[in-house]
Structure 1
Amino acid sequence: MNPYDTLLAEAAGRPFAAIVGWPVEHSRSPALQGFWLKQHHVDGHYGRLPVKPERAALEELVAFLRKTPNARGCNLTLPHKVEILPLLDRIDPVARRIGAVNTIVKQADGTLEGRNTDGFGFLEALKYNAPHWMPDTGPVVVLGAGGAARAIVSSLMDVGVPELRLVNRTRGTAIDLGVALTPPGGQRIVVGSWDERSELLDGATLLVNTTSLGMKDQPGLDIDLAKLPHEAVVYDIVYVPLETYLLAAARSRGNRCVDGLGMLLHQGRPGFEAWFGPRVDVSAAQRHAVAADLGA
Structure 2
Amino acid sequence: MSRPYAEVIGDPIVQSKSPIIHKFWIDRLGIDADYRACHVPAEALQSYLAERRADPDWRGCNVTMPHKQAVIAALDRLDPLAARINAVNTIIREDDGSLTGYNTDVAGFLEPLRDHLAQTHYFRMARIMGTGGAARAVIAALADQNVMLVVAGRDPEKARALLDELDPEGEHHVAPLTHFAEPTDFAFDDREGCFDLLVNASPLGMDGQPPLDLHHSHIPPGSVVYDIVTHPLQTPLLTEARSRGFETLDGLNMLIGQAAEAFSLFFNQTPPRDDRDAALRQLLES
TM-score of the pair, normalised by structure 2: 0.90
CA distance in 1: counterparts of 2:271 and 2:58, whole angstroms: 20
CA distance in 1: counterparts of 2:39 and 2:121, whole angstroms: 38
**Is the alpha carbon distance of 1:219 and 1:202 closer, same or farther for their aligned partners in structure 2, counting shifts above 3 Å?**
farther
- Tell me how far 1:289 sits from its aligned partner: 3.6
- Number of corresponding residues: 278
Matched, 1:62 2:62: no
Which of residues 105, 119, 123 in structure 1 aligns to 2:92?
105
Report the equivalent of 1:87: 74
Report the equivalent of 2:133: 147
CA distance in 2: counterparts of 1:281 and 1:234, whole angstroms: 27
CA distance in 2: counterparts of 1:201 and 1:149, whole angstroms: 28
Report the equivalent of 1:177: 162
CA distance in 1: counterparts of 2:174 and 2:81, whole angstroms: 23
TM-score of the pair, normalised by structure 1: 0.87
- Tell me how far 1:89 sits from its aligned partner: 0.2
Matched, 1:14 2:3: yes
**Is the alpha carbon distance of 1:291 and 1:61 closer, same or farther for their aligned partners in structure 2, counting shifts above 3 Å?**
farther
CA distance in 2: counterparts of 1:16 and 1:136, whole angstroms: 47
Deviations 1:116-164 (A, max 9, x none): 1111100012236x67876763221000011100001001011111x10
Q: Percent identity?
A: 38
Write the letter of the residue equivalent to 2:172: I
Write the letter of the residue equivalent to 1:208: V
Contact 1:88 1:112 in 2 (8 A): yes
**Is the alpha carbon distance of 1:281 and 1:188 closer, same or farther for their aligned partners in structure 2, counting shifts above 3 Å?**
farther
**Is the alpha carbon distance of 1:202 and 1:164 closer, same or farther for their aligned partners in structure 2, counting shifts above 3 Å?**
farther
Q: What is the alpha-carbon root mean square deviation over aligned residues?
A: 2.2
Contact 1:201 1:227 in 2 (8 A): no
Report the equivalent of 1:243: 234
CA distance in 2: counterparts of 1:86 and 1:14, whole angstroms: 28
CA distance in 1: counterparts of 2:249 and 2:235, whole angstroms: 11
Contact 1:88 1:114 in 2 (8 A): yes
Write the letter of the residue equivalent to 1:30: P
CA distance in 1: counterparts of 2:264 and 2:135, whole angstroms: 25
- Tell me how far 1:286 sits from its aligned partner: 4.2
Which of residues 150, 158, 179 in structure 1 aligns to 2:144?
158
Instruction: Return 5+ residue gaps in structure 1 as ranges.
Output: 1-11
Instruction: Return 5+ residue gaps in structure 2 as ranges.
Output: 190-194
- Tell me how far 1:195 sits from its aligned partner: 2.5
- Tell me how far 1:292 sits from its aligned partner: 3.6
**Is the alpha carbon distance of 1:196 and 1:134 closer, same or farther for their aligned partners in structure 2, counting shifts above 3 Å?**
farther
CA distance in 1: counterparts of 2:130 and 2:11, whole angstroms: 22
Matched, 1:115 2:112: no
Query: Equivalent residue of 1:208, what SS?
Result: strand
Deviations 1:161-180 (A, max 9, x none): 1x100000122221211111
- Tell me how far 1:77 sits from its aligned partner: 0.7
Report the equivalent of 2:192: none
CA distance in 1: counterparts of 2:101 and 2:6, whole angstroms: 14
Which of residues 193, 199, 202 in structure 2 aligns to 1:208?
199
